[in-house]
Every structure is written in structure tokens, then in C-alpha cells.
């Protein structure tokens, strides 16, 4: 058991929360791409100055500040990815990190899927069918529901099944998901529910959380 726990804590786990870098400039807000007990990969707009960062992690219901140093910086045309090692982590922040990692591991085993479909009958049938295939569907009843599900790091949803809903076209909803939640893969809901479930499984197999599931199997 000790070896398993140590191996899990060393993994870079796809935990998707909020990261805020504080320094001489205005705070830089970005997202967490993955997380371990000793470091993280974050994605921010701009490039913080210096290697030492005063960092705030927002992980679902847990959050806290720590000191980290950058070990790799990848500058893109719009955003910067920064690999960090943590230097000073207090017990409160360490507990929040460990909790977020544990929820991601649970999600890897449960395979949560967001279902956005205002066709209530089809949605109910799809949810039931996904459950028979060992997935954990979460149905969004409003746009705020969908956003709350995708921003909840404890749910760790990485697949969204989408149909035209809430007055938005299929393309608009898919762009909303991809632009705001780049780690989430989307697939279309059609009246062929078996094909929709197949699409969900294919989408899930290519996610970071699926790779985590294979790594800890």
C-alpha cells in the first residue's frame, strides 16, 4: 500500500483549477493543467518576471498560497505554459493539493461525462445508457449548471456531450467548451444514442484523465 500511495503522489495528475501569480506586475490569472504534491504545470496569459513566484492555487473548495519556482517556460502566441516546483507549502495547502489529486484519481475510475441537452426524454435515455457503460454522467439543466460542473475540479469532467440547447447552436456550445475549458473534449449528441455513447468513449480515451487511469491501473 505504501508503494502505491507514493507512486500516486508522485504522478502529475490532470487537476484543472485556477492559478494566480502575484508579483511586481498585476496578478496573472491562468489555469492549472496538472498537479503533483511537489509541482504543477500552469497556463497563463503573459510571462511572469523572475523564477520565484508567489502562487495562489484555487482547487475547488480548497485554495491557498505558496512559493514556487519555474523550471521550464514555454511561450506561445497567446499563452505561456510554466512548469513549477514548489518550495514552501504549508499543511493547509498540502491538504488541498492532496484532496484535489485524490478526486482526480477517483474521476479517472468513474469516468464523469457532462451531458448538455434540453431534449429531456433523450437526455434521460442517454444518461441511463452511459451509466450501463460504466460512465458517470452529469446532466446540466441550465447554462450555469454546465459551467459549475466544468469548473468544479473535484468532479474532474473531461468529456462533454453536446446538443443545441439553451438557445445556442451546437457549434457555439462546442466553441464555448473548447475556448474556456481546453482540457475538455466534446462530442455531438444525436438521436442514435448508441453512436453517441461510442463517441463519448472515444473522446474519453484521448483525455489526460484517461491516461491517468491507465497509469494507475
What global pTM score does this model have?
0.76
Say what the pLDDT of residue 10 is.
Answer: 56
Location of each CATH 3.40.50.2300 domain in the chain: 111-216
Q: What is the largest CA-CA distance in the chain?
A: 55
Mean pLDDT of the chain: 87
φ/ψ region of 134 (left if φ > 0, alpha if ψ in -120 to 50, else beta) reads left
Range of lowest pLDDT (6-20, 71-85, 92-106, 132-146)? 6-20
Classify domain 2-103 at the CATH class level.
mainly beta
Say what the pLDDT of residue 160 is.
Answer: 96
Of 9-13, 24-28, 161-165, which one has max mean pLDDT? 161-165
Say what the pLDDT of residue 201 is.
Answer: 96
pLDDT band for position 138 (cuts 50, 70, 90): very high
Exposed e or buried b per residue across 13-52, where buried means at least 16 C-beta atoms within 10 angstroms of its C-beta: bbbbbbbbbeeeeeebebbbbbbbbebbbbbbeeebeeee
Say what the pLDDT of residue 200 is.
Answer: 97
Taking a C-beta distance cutoff of 8 angstroms, is the pair 162, 172 a contact?
no
Helices (H) and strands (E) in the chain, counts: 7, 10
Residue 131 has pLDDT above 70, yes or no: yes
H or E element: which one contains 57?
Answer: strand 52-59
Residue 124 sits at the vertex; the CA angle it makes with 119 and 126, to the nearest 5 degrees, is: 95
Residue 116 has pLDDT above 60, yes or no: yes
Residue 7 has pLDDT above 60, yes or no: no
Of 12-16, 163-167, 207-211, which one has max mean pLDDT? 163-167
CATH of domain 111-216: 3.40.50.2300
The closest of 67, 84, 149 to 114, measured between CA atoms, is 149
| Percent residues over pLDDT 70 in the chain | 93
Amino acid at each position: 500500500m505504501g508503494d502505491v500511495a507514493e507512486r500516486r503522489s508522485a504522478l502529475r495528475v490532470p487537476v484543472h483549477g485556477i492559478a494566480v501569480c502575484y508579483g511586481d506586475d498585476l496578478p496573472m490569472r491562468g489555469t492549472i493543467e496538472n498537479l503533483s504534491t511537489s509541482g504543477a504545470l500552469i497556463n497563463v496569459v503573459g510571462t511572469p518576471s523572475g523564477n520565484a513566484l508567489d502562487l495562489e492555487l484555487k482547487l475547488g473548495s480548497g485554495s491557498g498560497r505558496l512559493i514556487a519556482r519555474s523550471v521550464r517556460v514555454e511561450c506561445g502566441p497567446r499563452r505561456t505554459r510554466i512548469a513549477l516546483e514548489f518550495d514552501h507549502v504549508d499543511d493547509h495547502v498540502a491538504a488541498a493539493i492532496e484532496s484535489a489529486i485524490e478526486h482526480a484519481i477517483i474521476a479517472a475510475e468513474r469516468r464523469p461525462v457532462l451531458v448538455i441537452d434540453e431534449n429531456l426524454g433523450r437526455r434521460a435515455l442517454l444518461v441511463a445508457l452511459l451509466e450501463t457503460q460504466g460512465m458517470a454522467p452529469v446532466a446540466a439543466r441550465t447554462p450555469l449548471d454546465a459551467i459549475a460542473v466544468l469548473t468544479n475540479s473535484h468532479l474532474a469532467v473531461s468529456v462533454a456531450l453536446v446538443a443545441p440547447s439553451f438557445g445556442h447552436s451546437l457549434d457555439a456550445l462546442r466553441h464555448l467548451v473548447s475556448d474556456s475549458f481546453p482540457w475538455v473534449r466534446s462530442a455531438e449528441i444525436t438521436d442514435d444514442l448508441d453512436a453517441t455513447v461510442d463517441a463519448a468513449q472515444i473522446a474519453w480515451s484521448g483525455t489526460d484523465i484517461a491516461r491517468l487511469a491507465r497509469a494507475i491501473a
